[in-house]
Structure 1
């Protein structure tokens, strides 16, 4: 039997709080789930530092990846059922890309990437194409199958329809994480009628389109995404935790470059600090490893590193103030000067953090991050871009919202034993 067509002798199921069950019938999918690279995703949280704000947000990239796979499986079995141009190879390619799309995420994902200039998509492709268990499983389908999967995830595949199912403005990735993140954070913002959206999806050569009758379900989906970003993903307390996390990693990196002698050698970071990280080194990193270092770094002699680690581990986070960098840059300069006078390092304790989101956009050729719009299928067969039919979507199309916060350690400013006059000035500026 050809490996790509081999079915399990008995269907495997994962109990799932969002989709009820995740169904696995294909041998290749089951084998991919069992690889050490995919199992590593159990040790990477889906929402990074958000668990310090919403205590239920302990779910993993493993949960989410299975969810994206299940949505795509349902698309194929329901939406594309009987479609002549859809074949077994396309089906397996889509399922594998959906399952593996987040494979390269590192611990605490985006914060970790920013500090060390990593790209999780590059690591995803490296895992798929490298000397890994995942590559061995994919190669059993065909020698060029890993490359095809990597191209779908990298959005360079000629199979645009498959790419759009996993990465577009209405894709399986977003449909899973909105519902899953809402469930585990305990909020209602991310809920929308996915069943309805799946029923009104129609495959076209380059993308999935939506029947006009399903427009209101799509409006609800877009507004759910909008609310989740501002109520959950950009929550100021989660951002405070991420600021501290980022500063810990920056401090450790700076100390290493200055030949600081750590009490416990950070062996998992050595290649990263030297900027010669290998795939093997990268795959050894997960959030348990990072938290281990944060625990032991609390005892380091460097006061900044030890303080920041204690803050993160014990959730003693920075406070924040509203901040407009366009209007208040002089205040920031004044605060920076005062922090130095007070003996507080502004590089680590006075941080401007900005969050920005574009909830929906139409196609803007040549612009950075070109976005394929959502198209509605009209009764006469014509395709119409969503915002031209929906007043709700039109009102937010192309409008990027940005929020700025200024983070600082309020407890440092309450200590009147040193520099009390300067600290009073700082508090006055921050109030």
Structure 2
């Protein structure tokens, strides 16, 4: 028996709050879970700073990755099994890509990526293809197997059906994170009938399609996603924490560029500051390391870095007001001037933050990002795009919702121990 088909002597299970049990019989999957690169995901939260808003949101990328694997396992072993459109040769590839799809996420992923101009998908591919434990396991399957896994994750693999399982508008990745994030945040929005959706999934040449009889379950899934984005992922308090986190990293980077002498040298950040992050350096970073620096930077001489770190660690977050930068740019310029006069650097203490989401869209030729639409399989065998059949989906299709807020430290503009008149003008402009 070859390594690719080797089974464990008995099935291993992970107890899971979303899927009840996660089942592992394949030796390859078990070995991948045991690699140090995959275990690192235990130290990276799935929802970044959301735990400062919803205290239960402490779950990790490790939890989520196992969940995506389990959904794919159920699809390929149960739903697609023995269907002529599905090749059993793609089974292990689909399972490995599902398990490893988030492998390259860094600490507090998206804020971290923006500041240092990084891409977690690039690092996922580097881990899969580089000198890593994960690569050694995958290479034992076949020398070309790591490349195939990387291609599925990068959405360049020739079999688009396999890609669509983990990356489309209705995929295992979204189905897991919506339910998992809803469970750990304690909200009711992210729940939908996944069992029903799995039962009505069918493999076609280039993507998964949904039997028409399951359309209402898909409508429910799309509305769940819409609600989760606006009630959880874009929650203004979470965004406030992200603003401060981003500004901490910016300040540390700026100070390093000015040859500032840190009390405690940020050795884990040197390659990030230089824009030359190696895979070895990247894999040493996790949220425990980041929080260690935020803790010790509370003792730095630099007032801004010290203040921002204290705010993040003690959850003394910025307040916010609704703000439209396109219409209120003059007000923003006036506020920036007043903040500077009040001794508050507007770059760090006056921040416009925008959130934007497109809940569902169909393919529009010529657009930068091709969004693979959800297709329904009709009783007569025809394939129809979802919004052509569903009035609910048609109503939100292609409609991007954007939200802008202006964040600022309320305590510093209401402290009247100095610059009273200027702070009063600021409060008048902010209408607080």
* TM-score, reference length from structure 2: 0.99
Match of 1:353 in 2: 353
How far off is 1:366 after superposition? 2.1
Match of 2:370 in 1: 370
Separation (CA, whole Å) in 2 of partners of 1:274 and 1:363 = 39
1:9-408 aligned within 5 A: 9-408=9-408
Separation (CA, whole Å) in 2 of partners of 1:353 and 1:190 = 24
8 Å Cα contact 1:5/1:88 also seen in 2: no
**Alignment: residue pair count:** 431
8 Å Cα contact 1:37/1:133 also seen in 2: yes
How far off is 1:357 after superposition? 0.2
Separation (CA, whole Å) in 2 of partners of 1:362 and 1:86 = 25
8 Å Cα contact 1:4/1:89 also seen in 2: no
Query: Structure 1, residues 161-213: CA drift from partner, whole Å, max 9, x if none?
Result: 00000000000000000000000000000000000000111110100000111
Secondary structure of the 1:406 match is: strand
Q: Which moved more, 1:85-94 or 1:278-287?
A: 85-94
Separation (CA, whole Å) in 1 of partners of 2:211 and 2:11 = 33
8 Å Cα contact 1:79/1:203 also seen in 2: no
Separation (CA, whole Å) in 1 of partners of 2:380 and 2:332 = 58
Distance 1:85 1:142, change over 3 A: farther
Secondary structure of the 2:232 match is: helix
| Structure 1: gaps spanning 5 or more residues | none
How far off is 1:136 after superposition? 0.1
* TM-score, reference length from structure 1: 0.99
How far off is 1:10 after superposition? 0.5
How far off is 1:368 after superposition? 1.3
What is the RMSD of the two structures over their aligned residues, measured on CA atoms?
0.6
Secondary structure of the 2:299 match is: coil
Separation (CA, whole Å) in 1 of partners of 2:144 and 2:272 = 31
How far off is 1:85 after superposition? 5.0
8 Å Cα contact 2:85/2:205 also seen in 1: no
| Structure 2: gaps spanning 5 or more residues | none
Q: Which moved more, 1:411-420 or 1:312-321?
A: 411-420
**Superposition misfits of 4+ residues, deviation over 6 angstroms:** none
